[in-house]
Structure 1
Amino acid sequence: MNAEPRLLDNATATSGQYLTFTLAQELFAVEIRAVREIIEYGRLTTVPMMPPSILGVINLRGAVVPVMDLGQRFGGRATSIGPRSCIVILEIVHQTATQVIGMVVDAVNEVRELSAEQIEPTPSFGGSIRADFIRGMGKLDERLVVMLDIGRIISADERAALDQAQHHGLDGEHD
């Protein structure tokens, strides 16, 4: 078996390991190498003047980490917090820096290996999220999983807002 990731025509997702999670009854996946850790949903400190998709910040072992609601980011309603809700901590690599953010999900499912044969190109028709957020569509058993491009989910304006939230959290944290 070739250890080199294989890039598909019209898809940017490569074969490899993906963390799958549920959000609003849909199945999503992100590359496992972007996942730093998964934590229990806990108390957030809200930051004034943030977009609705940025819920606030958390203190993660002394580091202030902004937390985003993907449900709101995708144009839907706020994620409803339940017993399996958690925060997936991600490292997003941009051209000049690495940003650590949290994203609230309904439930984390599992880590799955996806081969190139299980990945389809991004569909060109509509959906609840913009196509540029999608790296491909994975086929898991009888279900399709939306493979997210985490680096594109967050716009430059939102990155600035996340930075602002993080710095505000550093200045205003009272815990």
Structure 2
Amino acid sequence: MELRVEAKVEQLQQTADGSNQYLSFSLGGEEYGIDILRVREIREWQRVRTLPDTPVYMKGVLDLRGTIVPIIDLRSRFKLASAEYTSTTVIIVLAVVKDKKQLMVGVVVDGVSDVLNIPASGIRDAPELGNCISARYMSGMVTLDERMVILLDVDQILSPEELCVLEAV
């Protein structure tokens, strides 16, 4: 018991020294991270209600305790190869800010991995990646234990116009 308390205190001290926590997840064989303060919930994949005349990356909507949450497939959004949803596929419900207003959006990912403590000094600027994922979606990149993690800016995953469409849902 005492060891767990000490480990928790050490973890809190690490985050108090200027590092940020990110939820890491996999998508198409790559590892990504999102600011954990933006994560509202992680849910196992479940069928969603599809909507007509929506972009291909919009899987539909989910009723989350009375709140209608639009669900985005990040593979489709980032123009990655499609994959079958499996038992590890999850929906990460995020708080996205548009015009100083908070919206809830769910993103479908292959699976969640871990919570990472990343010092601000370890985050590098996002490079322009050509036809791959646009740098506008990224807040930076970090290398941890010889693996590269792409940090996403959740407010940039959808354009203001796309957020307006989702807000109307």
The TM-score with structure 2 as length reference comes to: 0.85
The match for 2:108 among 96, 104, 108 is 104
1:101 corresponds to which letter in structure 2? V
Instruction: Read off the aligned partner of 2:77 and give its amino acid letter.
Output: R
State the one-letter code of the partner of 2:149. V
The match for 1:12 is none
Q: Partner of 1:162 in structure 2?
A: 166
Structure 1 Cα separation of the partners of residues 64 and 30 of structure 2: 28
Report the number of matched residues.
156
Query: What percent of counterpart residues are identical?
Result: 37
Partner Cα distance (1:52, 1:67) in 2: 11
- Could you state the TM-score of these two structures normalised by the residue count of structure 1? 0.82
- After superposition, the CA RMSD in angstroms is 1.8
d(CA) in 2 for partners of 1:68, 1:16: 25
- Whether 2:65 is the aligned partner of 1:38: answer no
Structure 2 vs 1, CA of residues 146 and 51 (structure 1 numbering), >3 Å: closer, same or farther? Answer: same
- Secondary structure at the aligned position of 2:103 is classed as strand
The reply to whether residue 70 of structure 1 matches residue 74 of structure 2 is yes
Alignment correspondent of 1:87: 91
CA distance in 2, matches of 1:4, 1:41: 35
Unmatched 5+ stretches in structure 2: 1-13
Change (3 A) 1:123 1:98: same
CA distance in structure 1 between the aligned counterparts of 2:16 and 2:150, rounded to whole angstroms: 23
2:57 is aligned to 53
SS at match of 2:104: strand
Cα distance in 1 for residues equivalent to 2:129 and 2:91: 30
